[in-house]
Amino acid sequence: MSDSSATVTAVLAEKPSVARDIARVLGAAKKGDGFLHGNGYVVTWAVGHLVSLAQPHEMRPEWKQWRLDLLPMLPGDWPLVVYEKTKDQFEVVRKILNSPRVAQVVCATDAGREGELIFRYIYGAALCDKPVNRLWISSMTADAIRKGFEKLQPGSAYDGLADAAHGRSRADWLVGMNLSRAYSLVYNEEISVGRVQTPTLAMVVERELTLRQFVSEEYIEVIAKFEGLAERKKETYSGTWFRPRGDQGNEKETQAKLSRLAADGEEAKQIVERARTGAVTIESVKSETQRAQPPLLYDLTELQRHANRLFGFTAQETLTYAQALYERHKLISYPRTDSRHLSSDVAATVSQIANVIVPQYPQMVAEGTGTRPLSKRYVDDSKVSDHHAILPNAVNPGKLNLSPQERKIYDLVCRRFLMMWHEDHLQAVTTVITAITNPGQDGTEPVVDRYRTSGTLVQQMGWKVLDPVPEKRKKGGKTQAWGRRPRGPRSSRCC
């Protein structure tokens, strides 16, 4: 810091890259050892977590021993310790926070529960008592940072979030420290138990066991080819035989299951023989319009699911690319959100975003994009807590050096944004039931076999004009579309 005796404001960011962005906006251009300063500010940073809860033996010496009679370990208080590998940067931060020249502190860690915990632990371990204001932003653009500093809130406004963060951290400690020791001692091997990791692992194992125990069963479908019927003389179409509900079936069975026949082929042969001799009529033709609304905006989970389905990205890979788009490239809003809606104040800014995004998608944009008011389907203050849904920022990607993976994630976010102004996707689904009737024998009722034929016709593309197509990926040496359905069962074609 300079030699001036004027008081300054200390700003603590979560990462060096974020600190540099903030310092650039604030005019703190002078470099120090572990901080930037100037224009009445000193901006410093953590490197993720600098401080953690103490280990058991650091709380009570006897807890260093792994013994069942010492469990459960229930701390009366929760002392903090500084990580050895980051103690130098912590010391820089501690000195700045407690400097007599610092009049106030701005918490500029990530706007979420984990970011709040990082700041509160550092602030507590540094024994700082300066007044705190909170910077809460969802975008790392210069304009967002500037506006965020204009609307700083007292740190006390986020005490509830801090309580939740402390509760989560202490729950992790209690479960991990106690149950890891208990299971390790009982089973005489080192076992790690975690509040999140253990139930997650249990779900993975349960799913894996289900897959291993699955036994595939062959079945047959009977498919008939119809042509020259009175109602449809010029048409040729195929239909799949199906079993009426209630005939060895129930209401919960899917249409696919009702079409399956035993793999020995005996019943299928009988159906085929009846098809060759029976009278054919079209029993019913039903047409209905199916309507699909544009999807909601992305939260992190939905973005991860969609990127996995389209590109095969893991959840961590998608988060890494999204975080880079947020922090380094300033192209999207805060990605670690659990909301798929916008607040009314954010919705008022979408026209600026649209002005930048629309030119990137020629002939795919609906009329009124960015100017037509959004419905409550997308704008709902009651469904936005810490952060709104993921949005592109009003920043032109231009010549930014994006990786192919980052570009794919950015493209998904932009397309989902533009879909909000599109019409519904409409398609007409026509189902034809064709009956083949054979007279009964010896006065019995006629035997009627029914075949289902379905077809769709797109009436209005709507938002699906922007729907991305899954990539083709190599599997087993062969190229196949990601997410393509496996080859179907054996079929008997009769006529």
Catalytic residues: 334
- Given a contact cutoff of 8 angstroms between Cβ atoms, the answer to whether 238 and 221 are in contact is no
Structure tokens at 409: 């994630």
- Interatomic CA distance for residues 335 and 332, integer angstroms: 8
Query: Which runs of consecutive H residues, i.e. helices, occur in 214-265?
Result: 255-258
Rounded Cα distance between 19 and 8, Å, is: 16
Beta-carbon contacts of residue 484 (< 8 Å; ≥ 6 apart) = 470
C-beta atoms surrounding 413 within 10 Å = 23
- Beta bridge partners, 332, equal 392
Cβ 364 vs Cβ 418: under 8 Å: yes
- Find, among 235, 292, 297, 243, the residue nearest to 267 by Cα: 243
Rounded to an integer, what distance in angstroms lies between the CA atom of residue 343 and that of residue 363? 29
Q: Which residues lie closer than 8 Å to 277 by C-beta, 6 or more apart?
A: 438
Strand stretches in 39-152, DSSP E: 41-45, 51-53, 80-82, 102-108, 132-134
Reduced to 3 states (helix: H, G, I; strand: E, B; else coil), residue 13 is strand
Give the separation between CA 387 and CA 322, rounded to whole angstroms.
15
Contact 103, 8 (CB under 8 A): yes
Q: Please spell the DSSP secondary structure of 365-407, one letter per residue.
A: PPTTTTTSPPPTTTB-GGG-SSS----B-S---TT----HHHH
Contact 327, 18 (CB under 8 A): yes
